[in-house]
Structure 1
Amino acid sequence: MGGTGLLLGARCAGWAGRWLGHGRALALAGLCLAPAGLLLPFLDRGAGLWLAGAGYLLAMFKTGMDNVLGVSLRQRMTPDPLLGRMNATFRTLLTGALATGAAISGLIGELAGVRVTLWVGACVLATAFLPVFLSPLRTRHDLPEQRSEPPTSGGGPQQGDLAPSRP
C-alpha cells in the first residue's frame, strides 16, 4: 500500500504543482492528506485493516507529493555552488529524524504498548505538515528562477570566497 501511494503521489505532484502552484500544492497536500495518518491506529482485523490501509495509502501519497515538490523547490531556490551542502544537510536531518523517531517509538512501545505508540506516531504524522502550511511557502505559485551564484550584499568577496581581497 505504501509504495503504491508514494508512486501515485510522485506522479501527481507535477500536475498539482502546475495547477495549484508548487507551494500551495505542498501546503494543501499536507492539510488534506496528513490527517489520514490518524486512521493508522485503527489497525485490526476486518474493517480496521482496510481503514488503516487506506490511511497509510493516503499518507504515503502525501509523502510522494512532498518529495517531488519539496525537493524541486529547494533545488531551484538554492544557488548551484550550495546545492551539495543543502542536499547533504537535508539528508542528515532526515536520516537523524528517522533514527530518533524509531528509537522513541521503540521506547514508547516498550513502556506504554503498541496501540499508544500507533496513536503517538499518527498524531506526529498528522501534524508534521504544519511548519510548511504556516510558512510563506504556501503562497508560492511558480518555481523560482534558478540562480547560479549565491546572493551577495555589496558586490565584494564574501566570507568563504576563494578570490583574494584587494585594497
Structure 2
Amino acid sequence: MAQRQRFLQFWWGQTASLLGDTTCLALLPLIAGLHLSASPGQMGILGFAISLPFLLLALPAGVLVDRVSRRRVLILADLVRAAAMAGLMLAMFFDALSLPALYLTALTVASATLFFDVAAQSILPELVSADGYVGANSGLELSRSAGTAGGPALAASLLQAFGALAPLAVSMLFYLGAAGLYAGLPERSRPVAPHSGALREVAEGMAFVVRHPVLRALTLCALLWNVAWFVFNTVFVLHAGSSLGLSAGEIGIALSLQGVGMGMGALIARPLVGRLGIGISLLVGPVTSAAALPVLLLAGPGTALPMAGAALFLLGIGPSVWTVTQTSLRQAVTPSSLLGRVNATIRFATAGMRPLGAILGGALGSLIGIEATVAAAGLLFGLCILPVALSSAARLKIMPGAA
C-alpha cells in the first residue's frame, strides 16, 4: 500500500474516531443533566471519571503501545468505545439508565481514548517518512479541530431532534467505521526491545524525555502552557461576564473563535514550517498565547466582544501550530521502540498540570481578583517561550531525519 494511501486511510479513521469521541463526551453531560437531573456534585463526579484515566493509565498505556501492534490498539480502543455506546443504548432501551452506569461509561470511554491517543501519535512514523510528519500532523490537527467544533453540535442537535439514542448510535457507528479502516492498514514490523518489566520500561521512557534536550524543552513548555491555560480557563467566563459585560451568547461566540483559530493553525502549520523552519515555528504557539491575554485585558466598552474573540482566536491558532510542530519533532527524534512511552510520559505530565492550574486559578481569583488572575495567566504563557527559545530546538531548520 502506497504511503499516501496508507496515511489517507489512517486519516479517515482518525477523523471518524474523533467525531465519535467528541460526540460521546459532549453527550454524556447532557444525558446526566437533562435525563437524570444530576446535581453539580454528580456532574463533578462525571468530569472526574472522564479525566481520571489520563493520570492513572497514561504510563502503562505507553508500555503497552511499545510492546504490541499499535494498529491493533487503535482497533481495540474503538471497539471498546463502540461497545460502551451499545451498553448505554441497551440501558436506555430497558429503562435501566442510571448515574453509576453513566460514570462507568465515561470511565470506559476515557480509558480507551487514552490508549487510542498514545497509539495514534506513535503509529504515524510507521505510515509516513520523516519529511511528511508536519503535513500529516497538520491533517490530523485539522480533523481534531473539526471534531472539537462538530461533535458537540452534532450531539446536541441529534439529542434535541430524536432523543439520546440517536447520538449514541451515531457515535457507535463512527467508532465501528474507524475500526474497520484501521483493520485495512498493513501490519508493519518494527524493532521492539526485550521486555524488562513494566516499571523499568516506564522509567526508560521518562528518562529519555528528561535527558533529551529537545524533548525536555518541549515538555517544559507544554507543562507551563497547561498550567497557564487552566488558570485562565477557570476565570475566563467570570471575567467575560462581570468585567466585560458579555452575555452568554456573546461568550459562546468568542469561544467558537478559538475553534476557528485551531482550524486555521492546522492549515498554515505546514507552509509556516517550510518558510520559517521547524525551530522558529515552534515559537509561534507560545508567543501567540503570551500575546492573547494582553489583548483581552485591553478590551473596553464597545470592544469587549471583538477583543475577547481575538484573544481566543490567538489561543486557537498558535497552540494548533504548536501541536503540529512539536508532535512532528517528537516523532522525529524518538526511536520507534520508545515512542509510545515518550508520548505517554508527556501526556501524563501535562494531565497532571491541569488540576493544578484549575486550583491555582481559583485560588488566585479569590486572592487577587479576576483581572489580576487573567494577567497572571498571561505571564505564565510568556514563560512558556523560554524553554524552547533557550534550547537547541529553536535553532532547527529542517526536521531531523528528513531528506
Residue matched to 2:111 = none
Contact 1:38 1:119 (C-alpha < 8 Å) held by counterparts: yes
Describe the shift of the 1:127–1:53 C-alpha distance in structure 2 as closer, same or farther (beyond 3 A): farther
Contact 1:9 1:62 (C-alpha < 8 Å) held by counterparts: yes
Deviation by residue 1:115-163 (Cα, 9 ceiling, x = unmatched): 11111112212331221112111110111118xxxxxxxxxxxxxxxxx
Residue matched to 2:273 = 17
Residue matched to 2:122 = none
- Give me the whole-angstrom Cα distance separating, in 2, the residues matched to 1:136 and 1:53: 34
Residue matched to 1:67 = 323
Describe the shift of the 1:112–1:103 C-alpha distance in structure 2 as closer, same or farther (beyond 3 A): same
Gaps of 5+ in 1: 147-167
Contact 1:24 1:139 (C-alpha < 8 Å) held by counterparts: yes
Deviation of 1:44 (Å): 5.6
Structure of higher CA gyration radius = 2
Residue matched to 2:393 = 137
Residue matched to 1:99 = 355
Describe the shift of the 1:121–1:131 C-alpha distance in structure 2 as closer, same or farther (beyond 3 A): same
Which of the numbers 60, 71, 87 marks the counterpart of 2:343?
87
Residue matched to 2:67 = none
- Give me the whole-angstrom Cα distance separating, in 2, the residues matched to 1:33 and 1:124: 10
Further displaced range: 125-134 or 57-66: 125-134
The answer to whether residue 311 in structure 2 is matched with residue 55 in structure 1 is yes
- Give me the whole-angstrom Cα distance separating, in 2, the residues matched to 1:110 and 1:30: 27
Deviation of 1:21 (Å): 1.0
Residue matched to 2:290 = 34
In the superposition, the TM-score normalised over structure 1's length comes to 0.78
With a CA cutoff of 8 Å and minimum separation of 6, indicate the structure with the bigger relative contact order.
1
Deviation of 1:61 (Å): 0.9
- Give me the whole-angstrom Cα distance separating, in 2, the residues matched to 1:143 and 1:80: 16
Identity %: 32
Residue matched to 2:33 = none
Contact 2:290 2:382 (C-alpha < 8 Å) held by counterparts: yes
Letter in 2 for 1:130: L
Describe the shift of the 1:78–1:98 C-alpha distance in structure 2 as closer, same or farther (beyond 3 A): same
> RMSD in angstroms over aligned alpha carbons?
2.0
Describe the shift of the 1:84–1:77 C-alpha distance in structure 2 as closer, same or farther (beyond 3 A): same
Deviation of 1:49 (Å): 2.8
Further displaced range: 88-97 or 39-48: 39-48
Residue matched to 1:165 = none
Deviation of 1:20 (Å): 1.3
Residue matched to 1:109 = 365
- Give me the whole-angstrom Cα distance separating, in 2, the residues matched to 1:42 and 1:96: 32
- Give me the whole-angstrom Cα distance separating, in 2, the residues matched to 1:88 and 1:38: 33
Contact 1:38 1:126 (C-alpha < 8 Å) held by counterparts: no
Further displaced range: 62-71 or 92-101: 92-101
Describe the shift of the 1:62–1:31 C-alpha distance in structure 2 as closer, same or farther (beyond 3 A): same
- Give me the whole-angstrom Cα distance separating, in 2, the residues matched to 1:139 and 1:127: 19
Which of the numbers 377, 382, 385 marks the counterpart of 1:126?
382
Deviation by residue 1:59-97 (Cα, 9 ceiling, x = unmatched): 321100000000000011000010011100111111112
Describe the shift of the 1:102–1:33 C-alpha distance in structure 2 as closer, same or farther (beyond 3 A): closer
Residue matched to 2:213 = none
Number of residue pairs aligned between Structure 1 and Structure 2: 146
Deviation of 1:110 (Å): 1.8
Contact 1:30 1:133 (C-alpha < 8 Å) held by counterparts: no
- Give me the whole-angstrom Cα distance separating, in 1, the residues matched to 2:362 and 2:300: 20
Further displaced range: 52-61 or 85-94: 52-61
- Give me the whole-angstrom Cα distance separating, in 2, the residues matched to 1:11 and 1:102: 30
1:138 match: secondary structure: helix
Letter in 1 for 2:268: C
Describe the shift of the 1:88–1:43 C-alpha distance in structure 2 as closer, same or farther (beyond 3 A): farther
- Give me the whole-angstrom Cα distance separating, in 1, the residues matched to 2:283 and 2:334: 20
